[in-house]
Structure 1
Amino acid sequence: MEYLELFLKAIFIDNMVFAFFLGMCSYLAVSKKVSTAVGLGAAVIFVLAITVPLNFLLDKYLLQDGALAWLGPEYASYDLSFLTFILFIATIATMVQLVEIIVEKFSPSLYNSLGIFLPLIAVNCAILGGSLFMQQKEFPAISHAAVYGIGSGIGWFLAILAIAAIREKIRYSNVPAPLRGLGITFILTGLMAIGFMSFGGMLTGGDDEEDVKAAESVQVEVKEENATKKVADNTNVTILK
């Protein structure tokens, strides 16, 4: 259940496009056709699914303060966190190069349609954002990082697929001239963001339960204080009599 909730939150609530507006360049530029959007979305899923767990291992066993303790006690004081961005981007660039080789080999038409945006996945802020958010969330195991990476990729895939399908439809619609192009695209993105964020009420049951327990504990403490105060007041009245 924990993994399912993390997976769904990464797709809907913490969506890279609709919640954090990451990866907007590719989202806007490659969303004119559904077929192209599907290809780029699949590439993003693959890169996120590989790079987030790999960067989790790098962060846990190399970059964190004291992460090198496994090499020996003399390395326990080393802190390589200043290399975080360099190593994360290097991992991402390596995976993107692998994706580019695979796509060019097995789907030349998709490779040509994606054009410059395929190698630009390496500098897609949604990809780097997935690794940085993983580091910020401090997942206990690599399985959590893998689930989060796959969920984040699927969330970005759904976002670009949805806007591509809508843009293909509105191409034949009577859109007001000032809103044609990016104008109507930004409006649609905002509306879809509201729709995705509405899933928040469905996936925060654990947080709600914690809030209820906290409120109940506060109420118990207040009742105990009131009871103690009443006992003290009664004692004072008795003494005065």
Structure 2
Amino acid sequence: MAHRERSCAQTTSVPVERRRDIRVVVNLPGRYVLPRRRAVDGKPPAFACRLVNASPHGLMVAASVVGAVGEPVAAQFEEFGRLDGVILRRLYGGFAMSIEVTGERLAQLEAKLVWLDRLQRKAVANERRHDRMVPRTPQSIVVLADGTTLPCRIIDMSASGAAVTAALTPPLGMPLAVGAVVGRVVRRFAGGFAVEFVETQEIATLERLLIRSPVRARAMSAMPPPEDGGEIVIIDA
């Protein structure tokens, strides 16, 4: 009898350990705030970001504004909701942060990560009709009607449009081009805006048309070097 009880305990402990150790490579758009900072209106400014990988204990985030090590950060993702923590490491193009979740919230996060892991291994069918993708190199340019170009970061893209973050927040309906693809602004959100393409694009050539790199170096040079020796964020590991 004691032997049976030990066997059961060993069997049930494996999934729990796997959940707590799992780290999933993801490409999910989101936004974050650094609560200690304030904009002109007195509220913390929101920035667009992209979740690179996640575990039950921490996240790696691609972002243009990087806080100090130990600074509180609150990140919001559609798949996970709001996740609070502190910045653990500064990276080129982003940061690593802890996650402060316990109890039922932690169990829900672990279950979601397991599901995403299975989805990536094609064990779960993804029923979304129009999948959004994240480009391998998200830095590009926005071209305005008068020919002005601005550096931007593409949060995600699909055959019909793209979500973009840039220093400019254009008005709804404004025509512009993201890289070489012409469209118009159809939605604005905290930290960016959505562009609907004039023509539906072929997925096979979409990234090549969207990505334009002449201002990439200027956009990245404004970021101070990381404090931990220069780690590189690899988006598609």
TM-score tier (shorter): under 0.3
Structure with a larger share of its residues in helix: 1
Higher-RCO chain (CA-CA 8 Å, sequence separation at least 6): 1
Structure with a larger share of its residues in strand: 2
Structure with greater Cα Rg: 1
